[in-house]
Amino acid sequence: MTEPPVVAAGTPEGDSEQGGAVAAPDALSRTIDGFLRHITVERGLAANTVAAYRRDLRRYSTWLRERGITDAAAVSEADISGFTQAARAAGDTSLSASSIARILSTVRSFHRYLAEEGLVDTDAAREVKPPKLGLRLPKAISIGEMERLLTSTGGEEPIALRDRALLEMLYATGARISELVGLNVDDVQDGDMIRVTGKGSKQRIVPVGSYARTALDAYLVRVRPLFSARGRATPALFLGSRGQRLSRQGAWLVIQAAVERAGLTTHISPHTFRHSFATHLLQGGADVRVVQDLLGHSSVATTQLYTHVTADALIDVYQTAHPRAR
């Protein structure tokens, strides 16, 4: 695994000494780089997660350097509180509340790492509290809308068969789009199961329903060999027409095309399939712990967000149908 260069961790890009040589990293950059290595190698966080940490720490280190702080050991609780206030002020123009919360969580993790590794005497961020976020409920579409979306992709052309398999698998498994396009052929198990690798390289086994399995089998038999012959050998399950692994952007385009064909006006993203998967399972009586395992959530509290969605639906039905509800 190629580690991120120190300059990417926080050193202002483009800074150079006379003669064009890149400036030597300061103490702050070195400790940030060490933290990024730690979460990559020892904690095994996914590449996208590490990239988010890197972006957050670049923002944080830039703010510190503007105030003359180039060593993490010199950061005080007051400095972190000042950065918190600045981040909240920036939220009025460029940052959402969830982005601010994520950035501050990254900063707290960084300073906790420094204290645990003995690189600083105390954790300067220990008493700094992140902002509380309002409850944001997942957005799902109805079962009828999902059926319209899935049936809008028909035909016997290779691209159509692949797209139908992709969409059916998204809804049947509740997998994140990155997890789905990251599947390899060997991840398709006998007995209508697939092996999904989620965040932190954690694997889970997820069943596949008959509709999705039928669509997947048609793609594997009639389309994937054709696409594979056009490119270099790859174990990827879903391929582009030139034989390469289908990208997240490519999958997003497949979804948007299906939305247009179905005539749906609701905003639908790859995560809409995941939200709908969980919501429809709970509406059908599935246990929240089972849904937690299927989604790969580390905490059941995350999965319980979907119970609020189904409770809202029950209230709507009750108020509409019961003669003395209103």
Strand-by-strand arrangement of the 203-207 sheet: 188-189, 193-197, 203-207
Q: Which residue intervals of the chain are DSSP H helices?
A: 6-9, 27-37, 47-65, 77-90, 97-116, 143-151, 158-173, 177-181, 210-222, 224-228, 248-262, 270-283, 288-295, 300-303, 305-321
Give yes or no for a contact between 58 and 9, defined as CB atoms under 8 angstroms apart.
Answer: yes
In angstroms, rounded to a whole number, what is the distance separating the alpha carbons of residues 175 and 206? 9
CA distances for 220 relative to 65, 214, 258, angstroms: 54, 10, 21
Helix (H, G, I), strand (E, B) or coil at 54: helix
For 20, which DSSP code?
Answer: S
Catalytic residues, which ones?
Answer: 176, 199, 271, 274, 297, 306
Give yes or no for a contact between 16 and 22, defined as CB atoms under 8 angstroms apart.
Answer: yes
In angstroms, rounded to a whole number, what is the distance separating the alpha carbons of residues 272 and 286? 19
**Tokens (6 digits) for 122:** 């105390």
Helix (H, G, I), strand (E, B) or coil at 237: coil
In angstroms, rounded to a whole number, what is the distance separating the alpha carbons of residues 242 and 229? 8
Residue 104 one-letter amino acid: L
In angstroms, rounded to a whole number, what is the distance separating the alpha carbons of residues 80 and 64? 9
CA distance between the termini of the chain: 62
